[in-house]
Chains A and B, each alone.
Chain A
Amino acid sequence: MSKAVLVDITKCVGCGSCGVACKMWNNLEYRKESPMLGKDSKLDAENWTNIKLVETETGAEKQSIWRFVKNQCLHCEEPACVSACFSKALQKTKAGPVVYHANLCVGCRYCMIACPFDIPKYEWGKVIPRIRKCQMCPGRIKEGNSPACTEVCPTNALTFGEHKDLLKQARATINNDKKYVQHIFGEKEAGGTAWLYISDVPFKELGFRTDVTTQAVPHYTESIMHLTPAVGLTWGALLTGMYVYNRRRNTIANEENDNKKGK
């Protein structure tokens, strides 16, 4: 069945272990100018995950607080990136991960345009670039392990498991503890994602894209794509009809002309 990860933002202390584990497991380069932890951290070709420090305020006294948000691909249930790839280089696996196959990729970057969370990144500096993003460690999942980042988390901020179960667990947690906001990010966003988040600070303040559509993004384009064959056929038939009709009309007109000339 489909696997998922639940991120409990209240538990994350920002140690960065998950980021280190990700780099090690996936052989990603460390770059000084692009940290994976902190205020200025961001995703890029070598940062498949980043732990962003968000400073915000809480309570009546506007007390300043810190939160850490771990970003990575959310592994949508119906991924926009997969539907956008005309080369099938991105594929949703049964187990949950959305996996990239460089050998199929054309490098068109439509997946980057399509992703509602702006996850896929590109190797701009390379002559033959690849798309880079969190793969959700499909090899580890296949062997019955959890993804590298969730494995090393010392505070249990990251829980790996069945999608169904984690959703239930998340619901129970936010219902039982008043400090949580009543929202599971990823339950409905973009039609549902494999990575789920719960938090005590409103998601918008943490920089989540809360205005994202709750419809699976591919549905928008599919509604158009499904029309294409019908429109194509009708239009083709119409064109042929018009062509034949006008040619006949011309022929007749010409014959009449000829007849007139003949007389």
Chain B
Amino acid sequence: MAAKNWSFRMTPTRAVLMALAAIGGALMVYRLVVGLGPTTNLNDQWPWGMWIGFDVLTGVALAGGGYSTCLLVNVMGIKKFAPIARAALLTSLIGYLLVMVGLFLDIGRWFNFWRPFVSWGHTSILFEVFWCVSLYTTVQLLEFGEIATEKVGKRWHGIFKKILPVLLIVGVLLPTLHQSSLGSLYVIEVGKLYPLWWSLLLPIFFLMSSFFVGPAMVSLESLLSSRATGHKPEYNILQSLIKVAGYMMLVYLVLKIGDLFYRGAAGLVFAGNLEGNMFLLEMIAGIIIPLVICFTPKLRNSKAGLATFSVLVVAGVILNRMNVVFTGMSDYIGGSYFPSAIEWLVSIGLVAMGVLAYLFIVENFNIVPKEQHEAETDKETAAVKHTA
């Protein structure tokens, strides 16, 4: 057997990340030992807080880059995006694993986590979310198996290659279902969630935004990891990728405006209250400005433009989820909720764990295209031909 050559460079940033991850990990254990009351600021008015709003809802949305890239590359066959497909898959996989951890921490009776599988409470949107997210995480693990077995357990590689087409299709189907379901979760808040956000179209809005945040996340990640690892980002690819996002955002914007008028809620946008202003911020900074960047070739083709676009879109989607969970609910619920220190530290710890895992895997597996990337794609097309 060949030497496996695991490597993990230590840098000051990584040391900080490790410390944060360790603190987060310790607090997670503490949370399981003492319960939710002493560790979070949740209460009967605010039963869902940061862990659901940020770690789960936002986490799943931001991990949308995995399925949107997969759809473009593997299903629609747009091969020019292929070089970033693996990185997108990896982020998505790590994202989902973190979401699972976040969910597990948030449920009070965690030893019952398997119940819904057998109880079959199929009238609940949460049921659909639960099934899809667990299945999709499994599918992604298997998809990653195809990458991992290039290095470890090589004799399984053939099997993974064979089942890959099925995995890829299921791996696009499931996220489509649960990304939208996460929006449907809030449909039950009829009359509670502020009309700027409540709509029967919530599932469609959640789905579309998870799709267009994908390219932004992938770009952001490529820009960041190019600094960390020294690989040069594939600018051309990223620029055409965000154009795809741009078209989707355009449709989203039109649909959103149409929906507001249809429901007679358009007047609330300029009401000047907290909700109206947050909504404006979300739409202008998160959608309209990025759209301008995206469809002005000069801006799109500059590195700064690409970075700004990505940051704004990601921030916009985060803000959108936060608005649904917090801003849009605060008027109805009254009272206030601000996450406790432990809620923050656990969330930060989770992100730190994710970043570390990403860096480790990128260093040790074939994720980002290297010099031999030409050869790799050839091998891949050959394999595709072989399975065909």
Contact = CB atoms under 8 A, between A and B. Distances in A.
Contacts of B188: 80, 83-84, 113-114, 217-218, 220-221
A108 B169 contact: no
Contacts of A221: 123-125, 184, 187-188
Interface string B172-188: 11001100000011011
A247 B203 contact: no
Given A113-B188, A122-B47, A128-B108, A225 B35 contact: no
A88 B126 CA distance: 12
A109 B121 contact: no
Contact of B77 (A112, A240, A249): A249
B61 to A, nearest CB: 18
Main secondary structure on A side of the interface with B: helix
Contacts, number: 175
B109 A129 contact: yes
A107 B42 contact: no
A239 B172 CA distance: 8
A222 interface: yes
B165 A243 contact: yes
B173 A232 contact: yes
Interface in B99-151: 106-113, 115-116, 119-128, 130
Contact of B42 (A124, A223, A224): A124
Range class of the B interface residue count: 35 or more
Interface in B21-66: 33-38, 42-45, 47-48
Contacts of B119: 86-89, 104
B123 A122 contact: no
A212 interface: yes
Contacts of B169: 236, 239-240, 243
Interface in B63-112: 71, 74-77, 79, 106-112
B115 A87 contact: yes
B124 A106 contact: no
A235 B173 CA distance: 7
B385 interface: yes
B170 to A, nearest CB: 8
Contacts of A82: 123
A126 B115 contact: no
A105 interface: yes
A247 B380 CA distance: 12
A251 B79 CA distance: 13
**Residue of A80, A126, A218, A239 contacting most chain B CB atoms (<10 Å):** A239
A207 interface: no
Contacts of A85: 121, 124
B79 to A, nearest CB: 8
B190 A107 contact: no
B34 A127 contact: yes
A66 interface: no
Given A122-B47, A224-B184, A213 B190 contact: yes
The 5 A-B pairs of least Cβ separation, nearest first, read A107-B108, A246-B77, A124-B37, A107-B109, A86-B127
8 contacts: A124-B44, A127-B33, A127-B35, A217-B188, A221-B188, A223-B200, A224-B184, A254-B381
Interface of A: 43-44, 80, 82-89, 102-110, 112-114, 116, 118, 121-122, 124-130, 211-213, 217-218, 220-225, 228, 231-232, 235-236, 239-240, 242-243, 245-251, 254
